[in-house]
Every structure is written in structure tokens, then in C-alpha cells.
Amino acid sequence: MTTYEAGKALSEQVNPGMEDALRARYGHLVPGLAEGVVDWAYGRHYADETLPLRDRYIATIAVLTAQGTIPQLKVNIAGARKSGLSREEIGAVIWQMALYGGMPSAINGLNAALDVFAEEDAE
């Protein structure tokens, strides 16, 4: 299996339709971006079994919270839920970042998590 194939399978599991959404939004500006994200981010990183997927999501949620990167944080919180992280675990990871990214980043992260959880509840 190629890294693209592994990435495609995983991305469809945790973030269905992501590749198509990226292609539709950015394909005219950056041809190949969607396939590149699937291959590189999902196939070469998230699918690497050296670190369990749920642990990769913990690291990802932490850094995106500290950076204040809310749109990507929401996507990765949803993926983390599909990989087995509980709401409370996600909240704890985000709150831990109050020490490193600052209180405003942590509060914004918690608000992003609440948005994702509300979307889950609405489904």
C-alpha cells in the first residue's frame, strides 16, 4: 500500500470528504495540494504506527491550541473523537495548554471543542 493509499483510507475514516473539500477550495490555486495533504499528513504521519493515532491527536490538539489555530483545531478535535479520545480527555489537553499557549488560547480551544461537541450532539 502506498502512503497516499494509507492516507486516503485514514483521512476518510477520521475526516470524510477532506480531500475533496481541499481540492474544491484550493485546487485552482495549488494543484495537488489535496493529494499532498492526504499523502504527507495522513499517509506519512498519522498512519505511521510508531505512535498510536490517539496520541498523535493529543499532540496535534495541544499544538493547535497553543498556536490559536481554531479552524484546524476543530477538524482535529473531530478526528480525535473518531480515534477514541473522550470529550474530557480533549478538554484536559486543551486546558493544559493554558500553561504554554496562554489562558486566551486555552479558552478559545475549549470554545472550539464545545462547538465540535455540539455538532456531534446534533447529528
Tell me which residue has cell 499532540: 59
CA dist 26 and 34 (Å) reads 8
Cell of 108: 478559545
Q: In angstroms, how far is the first alpha carbon of the chain from the final one? A: 33
pTM beyond 0.85: the answer is: yes
User: For 41-79, what is each residue's pLDDT tens digit?
Assistant: 999 999 999 999 999 999 999 999 999 999 999 999 999
CA dist 79 and 60 (Å) reads 10
Q: Residue 123 — pLDDT band, cuts 50, 70, 90? A: confident
User: For 79-96, what is each residue's pLDDT tens digit?
Assistant: 999 999 999 999 999 999
CA dist 98 and 117 (Å) reads 20
Radius of gyration of the chain measured on its C-alpha atoms: 15
